[in-house]
């Protein structure tokens, strides 16, 4: 049976026509660092990337911080030899560098950003990064210096487009005094909705591209997460230490998963796909970053790109019926 083409949309004013779902490469950075996801098989990672591309996904979001270069290396290996239309857009990020004990250290200095970009290009095996983003606006006083460095990289042709992640509206406005902010990447899911208050209305008004991360709340809304599974996560997986994965919030979130499951059954899909479809259903959102660690995880979640939720679905998800 022929698969339906994935839905696409323009990413803000960048001219990039992206699928509504992109490959998130945080987890494939593996464990052994401050925000790792536990052990990861690199062959599984590469197979997952190839399978997502086969299904039509046309962009990958990674970062230098994910495994401190490991994720970018894996992405580079997976894309080796791909040319032209075969090669997806690659988005990556700077501003988090390796500190003592493989912890994250924030830096927005020009020299640090330029070094990171050079290293990322080498790991990715590319002559230019399609979208380069500031990962976090920390230290806040250095936002202008960091953003000016990204603008410099764009002027040099080493990056094609520039954006920010985890920025507030006020911080975006500061950056815009130096160079246009082309894209924004906030956290956004059914249990992380802060972006709805100011950020998403602002980006929609300004026609800034938006790609959201963690639409399944780092796996919590996937339908596969249970109390027993959380208890068995590896020591070097950051999620058990997140309050979202702990009581009293956990019971509330697992109840939401059951509502997602009921809607998923109507559409012959998974709770995770419904959670993703909900996120990209916001008119301000262009695409959602979805993490895959194995090829068998790809098919049901990629289908979220074409899943449309109706009013009754949304009411059921909110628990109002």
Instruction: Please identify every residue annotated as catalytic.
Output: 66
- Other Cβ atoms closer than 10 A to 155: 10
**Cβ atoms of 136 and 82 closer than 8 Å:** no
Q: Tell how strand 183-185 and strand 209-212 pair up.
A: parallel
CB atoms within 10 A of CB 238: 16
The H-assigned helical ranges of the chain are: 42-54, 70-79, 110-124, 143-156, 169-176, 199-206, 227-231, 249-267, 271-280, 298-302, 311-318
190: its two tokens: 């059914």
Q: How many CA atoms lie within 13 A of 141 on its CB side?
A: 0
Match 């049976």 to its residue by tokens. 1
- Do the beta carbons of residue 211 and residue 8 sit within 8 Å? no
Cβ contact 64:74 at 8 Å: no
């Amino acid at each position: 049976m022929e698969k339906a083409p994935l839905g696409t949309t323009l990413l803000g004013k960048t001219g990039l026509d992206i699928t509504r779902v992109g490959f998130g490469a945080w987890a494939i950075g593996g464990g052994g660092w401050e925000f790792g996801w536990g052990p990861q098989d690199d062959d599984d990672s590469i197979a997952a990337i190839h399978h997502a591309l086969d299904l039509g996904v046309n962009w990958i979001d990674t970062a230098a911080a994910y495994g401190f270069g490991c994720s970018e290396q894996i992405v580079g290996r997976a894309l080796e030899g791909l040319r032209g239309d075969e090669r997806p857009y690659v988005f990556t990020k700077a501003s988090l560098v390796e500190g003592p004990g493989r912890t994250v250290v924030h830096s927005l200095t020009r020299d640090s950003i330029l070094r990171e970009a050079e290293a990322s290009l080498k790991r990715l095996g590319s002559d230019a990064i399609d979208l380069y983003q500031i990962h976090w606006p920390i230290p806040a006083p250095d936002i202008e210096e960091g953003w000016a460095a990204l603008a410099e990289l764009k002027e040099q042709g080493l990056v094609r487009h520039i954006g920010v992640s985890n920025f507030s509206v006020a911080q975006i406005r500061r950056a815009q005094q130096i160079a246009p902010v082309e894209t924004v990447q906030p956290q956004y899911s059914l249990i992380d909705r802060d972006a709805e208050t100011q950020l998403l209305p602002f980006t929609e008004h300004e026609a800034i591209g938006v790609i959201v991360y963690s639409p399944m709340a780092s796996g919590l809304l996937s339908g596969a997460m249970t109390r027993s599974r959380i208890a068995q996560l590896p020591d070097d997986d950051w999620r058990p230490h997140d309050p979202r994965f702990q009581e009293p919030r956990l019971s509330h979130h697992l109840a939401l998963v059951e509502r997602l499951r009921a809607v998923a059954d109507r559409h012959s899909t998974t709770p995770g796909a419904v959670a993703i479809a909900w996120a990209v259903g916001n008119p301000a959102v262009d695409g959602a970053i979805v993490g895959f660690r194995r090829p068998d995880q790809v098919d049901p979640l990629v289908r979220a790109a074409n899943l449309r939720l109706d009013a009754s679905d949304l009411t059921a998800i909110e628990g109002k019926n």
